[in-house]
């Protein structure tokens, strides 16, 4: 995350996590390694901006995690869209409602009436 945060709050979050990177679990050497305060659960998912959802992470670890977040966020949005009925997957199996054909019990297919 790139939002500005006071050094006091950064230090409080760093201390609360014993200076450990929440992504790789290694100790962060604050004097030699670049780190930033990061959302544990992506902010776009939870809108949780409290200290409980914040932890220090190496900048390098964060860079590798973010592309995964994007996929996770996209999936969460799809799941939510499905949940409210805005989007539903259509099965393309022959005879299913996703196709314009209907399979009859005797094995022949016919066009579904509109
Ligand atoms: Zn790390």
Q: How many CA atoms lie within 13 A of 97 on its CB side?
A: 3
- What is the distance in A from the centroid of ligand 1 to the CA of 71? 20
Burial of 58 (0-12, 13-18, 19+ CB in 10 A): buried
- What is the distance in A from the centroid of ligand 1 to the CA of 41? 16
Terminal alpha carbon distance of the chain: 51
- What is the distance in A from the centroid of ligand 1 to the CA of 2? 17
User: Tens of pLDDT along 1-30?
Assistant: 445 789 999 999 999 999 999 999 999 998
Distance CA 89, CA 23 (A): 33
Average pLDDT, the chain: 82
């Amino acid at each position: 995350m790139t939002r500005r945060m006071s050094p006091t709050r950064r230090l409080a979050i760093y201390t609360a996590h014993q200076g450990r990177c929440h992504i790789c679990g290694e100790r962060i050497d604050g004097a030699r390694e670049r780190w930033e305060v990061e959302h544990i659960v992506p902010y776009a998912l939870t809108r949780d901006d409290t200290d409980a959802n914040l932890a220090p992470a190496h900048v390098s670890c964060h860079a590798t995690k973010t592309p995964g977040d994007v996929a996770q966020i996209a999936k969460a949005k799809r799941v939510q869209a499905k949940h409210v009925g805005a989007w539903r997957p259509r099965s393309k199996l022959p005879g299913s409602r996703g196709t314009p054909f209907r399979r009859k019990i005797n094995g022949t297919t016919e066009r579904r009436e509109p």
